[in-house]
Amino acid sequence: MFTFLVNHIALSVQDVDAAVAFYQEVLHLEEIENTASNSKTRWLALGQKQLHLIPRPGFEIKVNKAVHFALAIKDIDAFIQHLESIGIDYSDWRDTKKKDYVRKDGIKQIYFQDPNGYWIEINNDI
């Protein structure tokens, strides 16, 4: 049997500067040093893990809501207010705008997209 831990999430992005700005404004992620290479890939701290934003100008990015990453937060209502204050649209799984969804296990969740169309789920599963 193998035991794995999540190390990082890597996303291809059209404009790495715009992507970094988005993740810093919306999720308050701090940029950290890219210790792997001298490339233009930029790293952001995501808790004890990392989000790697890999520049791919002109690359066609295909997304769908079923392919997303999820982050948990204690006070999801405060985060929803934050999204509203900075003009970020969010929805439930069925794309009902400005609506959250409470799963049958009691976890509340919302979804929104980054500038490249990637879906991000925020839930209160803490």
Interval 84-123: pLDDT, tens: 999 999 999 999 999 999 999 999 999 999 999 999 999 9
Q: Which domains are present in the chain?
A: 8-55 (3.10.180.10), 68-123 (3.10.180.10)
Q: What is the 3-state secondary structure (H, E, C) of 94-112?
A: CCCECCCEECCCCCEEEEE
Interval 7-55: pLDDT, tens: 999 999 999 999 999 999 999 999 999 999 999 999 999 999 999 999 9
Separation CA 101–CA 87 (nearest Å): 20
Q: Which two tokens stand for residue 121?
A: 């789920």
Q: What is the pLDDT of residue 124?
A: 97
Residues of the chain by 3-state class (helix, strand, coil), percent to 5? 15, 30, 50
Query: Are the C-beta atoms of 88 and 112 separated by less than 8 Å?
Result: yes
| Cα-trace Rg, the chain | 15
Give me the phi and psi of 95, to 5 degrees please.
Answer: 70, 25
93: closest CA among 124, 64, 51? 64
pLDDT cut 70: percent of the chain above it = 100
Which sign does the torsion angle of CA 80, 108, 53, 67 carry? Answer: negative
Separation CA 44–CA 51 (nearest Å): 5
Query: Mean of the per-residue pLDDT values for the chain?
Result: 97
Q: What is the pLDDT of residue 120?
A: 98
Query: Are the C-beta atoms of 54 and 41 separated by less than 8 Å?
Result: yes
